Structure 1
């Protein structure tokens, strides 16, 4: 996968963690750098692990769906992108309660809930033949940076920016999925 695509994928995968981190930062009100780094690290590690799990699942199925792999990658990324856009456009009533405690189990659960899409992306990437270690590290690093930044900005910006970040992330996923499909069908490059 080209470097730009890896960067864009990492960015889009970190958008939902950024939105959740904004919420956590708003709940803390005046987060310290230590709070932000802790939350960023938890989110980043989980977000780096889940695409590798998805990739392993996808690789185990690859021999059965080899001729359709690019379509599967496209469909997964399209559906995830549409889901992120829908979440970004949905009403705040469905959002996580920002006033919940910031305990380690709660943060891990939040991190896992924002990284389920990364597991599905990992499964789709297994069909695209990418280096999952590099991609997972990029996703984890981007998530660490975005979540840490999100916590620090949370008290100031709140959830307003989080919704827009999810929409942008969804659009990027759809673009990457479309690129994979077009490259494998011969319409690109």
Structure 2
């Protein structure tokens, strides 16, 4: 029993740590003018990605080497950099058209970018034989709640900063993408 409690506590801490990127990126993305319903949907989407990405990682962890985890981190970092640069660039231009927004395909890119690291962790957990249901519940719930918190806080900050909020949000995304890539080298 104490072994299961220890594993659950470890998974909760790990889920919280992985959810911090969803919070940070949600903080930046929350600076878009988003309705509460959209914030709710974004949080659920990211939570779902934090369920199926580690599930894929758990399954693949039995078959793939650790080098694939580095590849996933590179892809995630590059996606965040593209999102961040796009947000910064859109504040410099007068027109309102955005290449990537947290709607449709942009939301899927956003969710994918913040959940790729959970795929990498899933690879490792798959190698060590972690309990799949506990991993998925912890990761999904933590990512959903932390995304909502980041988006709601970003929404508040957006109101305070006016037109510069999107540039700040883009800077946060860009910085987080660079941080992911810097961890590799």
Class of the TM-score when normalised by the shorter of the 2 chains: 0.5 to 0.7
Work out the CA distance in 1 between the residues paired with 2:50 and 2:86: 21
User: Are 2:43 and 1:54 aligned?
Assistant: no
Decide whether aligned partners of structure 1 residues 104 and 116 sit closer, same or farther in structure 2, where only a CA change above 3 A counts: same
1:159–1:26 distance in 2 versus 1, CA, 3 Å = same
TM-score calculated relative to the size of structure 1: 0.63
Q: TM-score, normalised by structure 2?
A: 0.64
- Unaligned stretches of 5+ in structure 2? 1-5, 88-97, 158-167, 181-185
CA distance in 2, matches of 1:144, 1:11: 11
Q: Which residue is 2:93 aligned to?
A: none
Pick closer, same or farther for the CA change 1:120–1:33 going to 2, 3 Å: same
In structure 1, the residue matched to 2:41 is 38
Which residue of 2 is the match for residue 97 of structure 1? 86
Give the C-alpha shift of residue 149 in structure 1. 1.4
**TM-aligned CA distance change 1:93 to 1:105, over 3 Å:** closer
How far has the Cα of 1:109 moved from its partner?
1.0
**Secondary structure of the corresponding residue to residue 101 of structure 1:** coil
Is the partner of 1:97 in helix, strand or coil?
helix
Q: In the alignment, which residue of structure 2 is the partner of 1:69?
A: none
Deviations, residues 18-54 of structure 1 (Å, cap 9, x unaligned)? 22211221011xx332121111011110111001101
CA distance in 2, matches of 1:93, 1:59: 31
How much does 1:159 deviate? 4.3
Change (3 A) 1:153 1:130: same
Who is 2:112 aligned against? 112
The number of residue pairs the alignment matches comes to 146
Check conservation: 1:32, 1:152, Cα contact below 8 A.
Answer: no
Q: Specify the SS of the correspondent of 2:37.
A: helix
Question: Aligned with 2:30: secondary structure?
Answer: helix
| Displacement of 1:14 | 1.2
Equivalent position of 2:122 in the other structure:
122
